[in-house]
Amino acid sequence: MRELNTSTFDDAVAGSPLLVDFWAPWCRPCKALEPILAELEATVPVARVNVDEHPAIGARYDVLSIPTVILFAGGAPVGSMVGIRPRAHFDQWLSEVLPAAQRDVDA
């Protein structure tokens, strides 16, 4: 999973859909989410932002709780999910927001 920072974030989210995990090393739910996100990489690329090291990025997208996962497409957020959820929940959510994100990028 690719780590993003203030110099790489905007370019990373500018193109095709990218799932971004806003996390911190001390966050236990964030650690529990890592294997689910690793599995989701087969569906959509995944990157992450350490909110302790890059709080301005999280603040830009109103990330108030972690873990927060935001799907970006074409530089804009198209969906978000807060907290740890089962893999099936992510699959359902992505089936709803990912097709719309792909259409936005293709347009």
Orientation of helix 87-106 relative to helix 28-40, angle to 10°? 60
Task: Break the chain into its structural domains and give their ranges.
Answer: 2-100
**pLDDT tens across 62-99, in order?**
999 999 999 999 999 999 999 999 999 999 999 888 86
> 27, 73, 98, 101: which is the annotated catalytic residue?
27
DSSP output for 27-58: -HHHHHHHHHHHHHTTTS-EEEEETTT-HHHH
The rounded distance, in Å, linking the Cα atoms of 30 and 66 is 7
pTM of the model: 0.91
Catalytic residue status for 88:
no
30 catalytic? Reply is yes
Q: What is the pLDDT of residues 37-59, one digit of tens each?
A: 999 999 899 999 999 999 999 99
Domain 2-100 has CATH 3.40.30.10: yes
Of 4, 13, 30, 70, catalytic: 30
